[in-house]
Amino acid sequence: MSTADGSVVGATKIVDRGPNDRRWNLVIVAEGYRSSELTQFASDAQSFANTLLATAPFDGLQSAINVHRIDVSSTDSGADDPAACGGSGAIAATYFDASFCNSGIQRLLLVDSASVLNVVNARVPEWHAILVVVNSTVYGGAGGAVGVYSLAPTAALIALHELGHTAFGLADEYEYWAGCEIDTDRNNHPALEPSEPNVTVANNRANLKWRDLVAAATAVPTTTNANCAVCDPQASPVPAGTLGAFEGAHYYHCGAFRPEFDCRMRNLNAAYCAVCGRRIRQTIAPHLPWSKTKAVPGWFGAEDQGAGIALADISGNGRPDLVVFHLDNPGGENHGYYRIGWNLDALGDVTGGWSDVKPVPGWFGAEDQGAGIALADISANGRPDLVVFHLDNPGGENHGYYRIGWNLNIAGDVTGALGALWSDVRPVPGWYGAEDQGAAIAVGDARGSGQLDMVVYHIDNPAGENHGYYRIGRRVNFGGDIADGTTAPKAIPGWFGAENQGAGLALSDISGNGRMDLVVFHVDNPGGENHGYYRIGWNLSNAGDVL
């Protein structure tokens, strides 16, 4: 009946993807297992971990997830199963006092969650979600501060559903409380909007929480219930997986809507709907480590002298596309090319295939020492422009140049502006240095002025130690010119290494404080193996300095 009815034996990390303070930690706790049954608990916990990691969207987030098991023994097996709900009447002396038949509903299986939290805080303080496994084959479970599930034949499916409540704040999408044929007080949902992301009282497109996922051709509401006294018996009028607004959700026959006809939060045998899947990915993705290294297919060329990448939603479908640029050095004149990997998913994989390789016209120069690209809507017409930068090495002093391919269409082709596909080639003023070992460009509101700026970065390679510098072209106007002059080159402090073989640059408000941060990347070439390093200059000032 209480923690006097057993003991905490210990914690074991059964899926180890990295330090607990960097990963998303699920803790599975034993309830109603006698000491002699803890081997069975270990098997039950491992079985659920295996199911979880094979289930979408967790399967794509595996490298972010640790799973722990806490062995807790109880005096008796099972849980209280009151006869009042049609149960066996069993009373079991267990550590967390599990019982079916809460609120008069047999399937509602609860434990003493304060005791569970005490045990987990002591053993795995970095926990993000807790599931208690109750050693009973009676069907039941619950969400709440800790998820609870039993070992009914559908145990893993119950656990995945309860985890939706406990770890991700998802609502039940079914439209009954005690049962469709039993309820008499579940006709119309109260007008108050539920806080959960996967149910709503809104019956119009503009107020749907998930409106960005609903196709224009899908009717909203997508289904309505003709008789609010009962659960809606109609089959789905749209193909499975269609996002819309389906009436009947959150324990009410009418007045509440769910995003898809079916979902694991409605029916244990269904997959999570897209709205629930998105919430799960958003919650766990911040715990991902570096991705696997992903190859760009169809590469060509044996020598290059520069490369760059940039991201933007070029196809306009709400997913970022990846533009990859390289500077081919085949002997004789160099050539610049770009290609586009379409529709990066939440894990950074290209899901829409790659474009053909597109040449940048009018290239000149046989030797370069760096290159980069940036995407920004410089012409302010709603389409991204492609800025291509290269560092020419003609013998003697180097020179940096950029050009702009105007208005990429949804296929990624330059479509032009003001009668030209590409701008003329423009020098970056005041260049110096005869040898460089990397260069890059970024375009964005670097100074917090509300205008686009152009940040150019290069690695100078004099005799002895190298040095990294950036400068900011203030206010790139609609024609792509730097309108308010260029700052002096600013040295990046604490540089190290005498040889480099590449560089990259990005602008983003990583700290989320409204000021741009500057991410500087370089490839160190110390002899032997190379190494890539990045550093962040926080909060660029209005003058473009890291203070």
Q: Say whether 116 sits in a helix, a strand or coil.
A: helix
Cα 243 from Cα 68, distance rounded (Å): 35
Footprint on residues 69-98 left by Zn ion (CB under 5 A): none
Give whichever of 259 and 489 is closer to Zn ion, judged by the CB atom.
259
Q: Which residue has the tokens 């032997």?
A: 528
Q: Is 343 in contact with 351 (CB distance < 8 Å)?
A: yes
Give whichever of 212 and 529 is closer to Zn ion, judged by the CB atom.
212
Q: Could you say whether residue 280 binds Zn ion (CB under 5 A)?
A: no
* Window contacting Zn ion (CB under 5 A); options: 257-265, 366-374, 380-388, 533-541: 257-265
Q: Could you say whether residue 407 binds Zn ion (CB under 5 A)?
A: no
- In the set 276, 284, 388, 408, which binds Zn ion (CB under 5 A)? 276
Q: Could you say whether residue 27 binds Zn ion (CB under 5 A)?
A: no
Measure the CA dihedral 70/73/76/78, to 10°. 10
The residues that bridge with 422 in the sheet, in sequence order, are 405
Residues 6+ apart with CB under 8 A from 350: 294, 322, 341, 342, 343, 344
Give whichever of 181 and 212 is closer to Zn ion, judged by the CB atom.
212
Q: What are phi and psi of 223, to 5 degrees?
A: -135, 150
Q: Is 389 in contact with 398 (CB distance < 8 Å)?
A: no
- In the set 70, 148, 245, 273, which binds Zn ion (CB under 5 A)? 273
Q: Min. distance of Cβ 166 from Zn ion in angstroms?
A: 15
* Window contacting Zn ion (CB under 5 A); options: 130-138, 268-276, 278-286, 532-540: 268-276
- In the set 263, 322, 376, 378, which binds Zn ion (CB under 5 A)? 263
The residues that bridge with 30 in the sheet, in sequence order, are 133
* Window contacting Zn ion (CB under 5 A); options: 40-48, 112-120, 262-270, 507-515: 262-270
* Window contacting Zn ion (CB under 5 A); options: 115-123, 224-232, 271-279, 407-415: 271-279
Name the nearest CA neighbour of 68 among 138, 133, 145: 133
Residues 6+ apart with CB under 8 A from 405: 360, 385, 386, 387, 388, 414, 421, 422, 423
Q: Min. distance of Cβ 278 from Zn ion in angstroms?
A: 10
Residues 6+ apart with CB under 8 A from 335: 327, 328, 359, 360, 363
End-to-end alpha carbon distance in the chain: 61
Q: Could you say whether residue 256 binds Zn ion (CB under 5 A)?
A: no
- In the set 166, 198, 369, 500, which binds Zn ion (CB under 5 A)? 198
Cα 251 from Cα 275, distance rounded (Å): 18
* Window contacting Zn ion (CB under 5 A); options: 105-113, 146-154, 273-281, 291-299: 273-281
* Window contacting Zn ion (CB under 5 A); options: 228-236, 264-272, 371-379, 488-496: 264-272
How many residues belong to the site for Zn ion (CB under 5 A)?
5
- In the set 28, 163, 208, 265, which binds Zn ion (CB under 5 A)? 265
Q: Min. distance of Cβ 285 from Zn ion in angstroms?
A: 18
Give whichever of 37 and 262 is closer to Zn ion, judged by the CB atom.
262
Cα 206 from Cα 212, distance rounded (Å): 10
Q: Min. distance of Cβ 54 from Zn ion in angstroms?
A: 19
Q: Min. distance of Cβ 272 from Zn ion in angstroms?
A: 6
Q: Please give the distance of CA 74 from its chain centroid, rounded to a whole number.
A: 40
Q: Which residues bind Zn ion (CB under 5 A)?
A: 198, 263, 265, 273, 276
